Amino acid sequence: MSILGTRVLRTEDPRFLTSGGVYTDDVVDERLAGACHVFFVRSPVAHARILGADVSAALSAPGVIAAFTGADLADLPAIRPGPMFNKQMTRPVLAAGKVRYVGEPVAVVVTEQAYQGEDAVELVDVDYDLLPAVIDLADAAAGDVVLYEDAGTNVAAVFGDPSALDGHLFDDCEVVVTRTILNQRVAPAPMETRAAAAAWGEDGRVTAWIPNQGAQGTRGGLARLLGLKPEQVHIITPDVGGAFGAKFGADPEHAVVAWVARQLGRPARWTETRYENLVAMTHGRAQQQTVTIGGRRDGTVLAYRLEVVQDAGAQVRIGAMLPFLTILMTSGPYQIPRAEAVAKSVVTTTTPIGAYRGAGRPEATAAIERAMDLFAAEIGMDPADVRRRNLLPPFTEPHRTKFGALYDTGDYAAALDKVLAAAGYDELRKEQAERRARGDTVALGIGVASYVEITGMGDGEEQPPQENATVEVHPDGTATILTGTSPHGQGHATAWAMLASEELGIPVDKITLKWGDTDLVPEGGGTGGSRSLQHGGSAVRQAAQELIEVARERAADELEASPADLRFDVGRSAFEVAGDPEASVPLASLAEEERLVVRTVFTAPGATFPFGSHVAVVEVDTETGKVVLRRMVTVDDAGFVLNPLLAEGQRHGGIAQGAAQAFVEEVVYDGDGNPLTASFADYPFLSATEVPSFELADMQTLTTYNPLGVKGIGEAGSIGATPAVQNAVIDALSHLGVRHIDMPASPQRVWQAIQAAREA
């Protein structure tokens, strides 16, 4: 019986539940002996010229070793935007001359002990010449106040040509609906904040301990920030306490820690506070979207237009390119004859935007799913029926969309039908009608969302998706796997061991996974974009299979038989001569005289496209505006499920995160650019007490792009849940005349929408 597809308990958990994880702040290493502690002085204003910075008072404080300003780090390379962005929007590693958001680091104080830093940074006197803040996206696009004077504009990038939009796109439509909606800014808020430790060796190499999603990419990023070659940087990844996209690569603070260690000739450490994390770690989402949808009154959608303004924050980071992915997934799972999209990214005096669970794809789904509900409301048709009428038919051969996405396999209508049946959709609509007839003050809302997303992307045709893996069998019957992926909660140690065990016959608990050390694994794509199993897992399987063939040759010599006459008995983890089981040799014994190890690279032909449908059921108190999530029913089809326990964990986390965006989470700034959500007292997110037990229906549509038939599952929940919950809240109030409520659906916002509808 195959172990694949079974509910194998996580082998990682006993350590986390007993001795606990070893996070960056916990690392004990002789190379870090005598480490000093780095603290950042961060700007309290959103936009200003720096006229001067006086660190003398801080230098006289107890325990302070040194203090540095941006001028001291001027020898480090400037950070330049990528090729698709405005090249004049460069910035230094540490602010010099100007600050552009509250929380931007302008100086550092270094102390002997960790407890001495927080008081010392308060003694650094920075003289700011205040400039107007730029918070509103329209103001940013207008450019009356420019963040980067050399650029002459706040527009960092443009995607598509607005002048080429079809003025006749909706001419034959019986109904056209348009609305501008907000996909609000959110904070990743990982359990573990950012951190770093760095030590330089006598060979001139720096070893840095950084919580990250890919050691190899972090090495490249840190090398660029320090002006070094990648081989001069050694990255070690400790346990990572949450990432959600925001820990992919190296941040300027990481480079400053390494620079301080080199400057002072001793190791250095840094761990940010929760306040720093909420104001300075990259945020997510932050799109303003204008959707226009048109079609016939029978529910057929004929045309759709999406116009996006992306808030990039104060610096051009990965968030500025998210509209590229949003446009790629514009039409979602639907067959829309005419569709077009354009976008632009603008800089504002706010925290920079980075990748956040789904990174661009949830934004596309949120837009089309709100558009579908708006269209359904306008023509008076059930939103599920509108979706069913317009979903693409099932396909097993790749389907190319108008926006260049090549969907691998899909059966979107089946996913919708399955989730509606699991939710008891017709019964829910009946209950809703009965409540409305009674005039209940607590309204029932049912929200539907269908989605398709892209996972496991490569870097284009020149660099298709790939990952490496090394598998070694030891003489004692154990095995070691080296992977270029980087687990931080996904369960890779269990999943990768299952794959190797299936091929090698070695028990899961005798297989060790190693990752996150660039000296041990120099190459790798890390973990992001839901790529790990389809690339990293396939590489492990491929390496194990290739190892069996290497071992077969050795076994043939040992047994004095032809390799073709040997059969590998997985149950015994041994080779035996066909027809003579007594003539056998254990796999482990073949590693006694020479290492039995194989390294391989798996290459996929392209990205995969998981899909699904979600149904959210909410209750809304029409007197107070309070929303309660009662049920969440989902179908998330990610192909073959290797371990249902792990897959369900990913779905649970994504659903909770997506639902939280819909009615709880939002990063807020005042008109002067001051963050109003800089603590967990002001920035709420869902806990286990505020969500129901999720109802997960299963569906598996295999892909042909990898031998496992798997697609990504890490982001699916966060893509479908958000619009389903938002649609449910609005649906609950639709009989009162409410047509739209921007996220998050807070009690105040919901109550205001009810009052506005009543007045109208």
Architecture of domain 466-603: 2-Layer Sandwich (3.30)
Q: Walk across the sheet containing 442-452 and list its strands.
A: 442-452, 611-621, 627-637, 695-697
Would the pLDDT of 25 be above 60?
Answer: yes
| Assigned token pair, 571 | 């149950």
End-to-end CA distance of the chain: 65
| Helices 425-438/412-423 angle, 10° precision | 50
Handedness of CA 241, 197, 18, 214 (dihedral sign): positive
The pLDDT of 187-192, averaged and rounded, is 96
What percent of the chain has a predicted confidence (pLDDT) above 90?
97
* Candidate CATH numbers 3.40.1280.10, 3.90.1170.50, 3.30.300.20, 3.40.50.300; the one for domain 34-131: 3.90.1170.50
Classify residue 232 by burial, with Cβ atoms within 10 Å: 0-12, 13-18, 19+. middle
The pLDDT of 531-535, averaged and rounded, is 97
| Assigned token pair, 7 | 């509910």
Per-residue model confidence (pLDDT) at position 1: 85
Please report which confidence band the pLDDT of residue 461 belongs to, taking 50, 70 and 90 as the band edges: low
Per-residue pLDDT tens over the stretch 304-338: 999 999 999 999 999 999 999 999 999 999 999 99
Instruction: Report domain extents, the chain.
Output: 34-131, 284-455+607-759, 466-603
Please report which confidence band the pLDDT of residue 156 belongs to, taking 50, 70 and 90 as the band edges: very high
| Rounded distance between C-alpha atoms, residue 416 and residue 182, angstroms | 26
DSSP secondary structure letters along 560-603: TS-GGGEEEETTTTEEEETTEEEEEEETGGGGSSS-EEEEEEEE
Would the pLDDT of 739 be above 90?
Answer: yes
| Rounded distance between C-alpha atoms, residue 723 and residue 142, angstroms | 30
Per-residue pLDDT tens over the stretch 603-659: 999 999 999 999 999 999 999 999 999 999 999 999 999 999 999 999 999 999 999
Residue owning tokens 């005096």: 349
CA distances from 676 to 43, 186, 347 (A): 15, 13, 19
The per-residue b/e assignment along 119-145, b for 16 or more CB within 10 angstroms, e otherwise, is: bbbebbebebeebebbbebebbeeeee
Nearest to 245 by CA among 355, 349, 104, 351: 355
Would the pLDDT of 145 be above 60?
Answer: yes
Per-residue pLDDT tens over the stretch 660-711: 999 999 999 999 999 999 999 999 988 888 899 999 999 999 999 999 999 9
SS (H, E, C) 537-556: HHHHHHHHHHHHHHHHHHHH
The pLDDT of 38-43, averaged and rounded, is 98
Per-residue pLDDT tens over the stretch 115-129: 999 999 999 999 999
Per-residue pLDDT tens over the stretch 247-302: 999 999 999 999 999 999 999 999 999 999 999 999 999 999 999 999 999 999 99
SS (H, E, C) 168-223: CCCCCCCEEEEEEEEEEEECCCCCCCCEEEEEECCCCCEEEECCCCCHHHHHHHHH
The helix/strand/coil state of 295 is: strand
Contacts of 360 (CB under 8 A, 6+ apart): 322, 323, 324, 325, 326, 328, 329
| Rounded distance between C-alpha atoms, residue 80 and residue 87, angstroms | 7
Residue owning tokens 């029932």: 444
Per the prediction, the chain carries an average pLDDT of 97
Structural contact between residues 587 and 504, judged by C-beta atoms closer than 8 angstroms: yes
User: What's the DSSP call for residue 265?
Assistant: T
Per-residue pLDDT tens over the stretch 223-233: 999 999 999 99
Q: What angle do CA 217, 515, 203 make, to 5 degrees?
A: 65
Per-residue pLDDT tens over the stretch 578-607: 988 889 999 999 999 999 999 999 999 999
CATH topology identical between 284-455+607-759 and 466-603: yes
Structural contact between residues 409 and 710, judged by C-beta atoms closer than 8 angstroms: no
Per-residue model confidence (pLDDT) at position 462: 66
Per-residue model confidence (pLDDT) at position 458: 83
What percent of the chain has a predicted confidence (pLDDT) above 70?
99
Per-residue model confidence (pLDDT) at position 484: 97
Please state which CATH number belongs to domain 284-455+607-759: 3.30.365.10
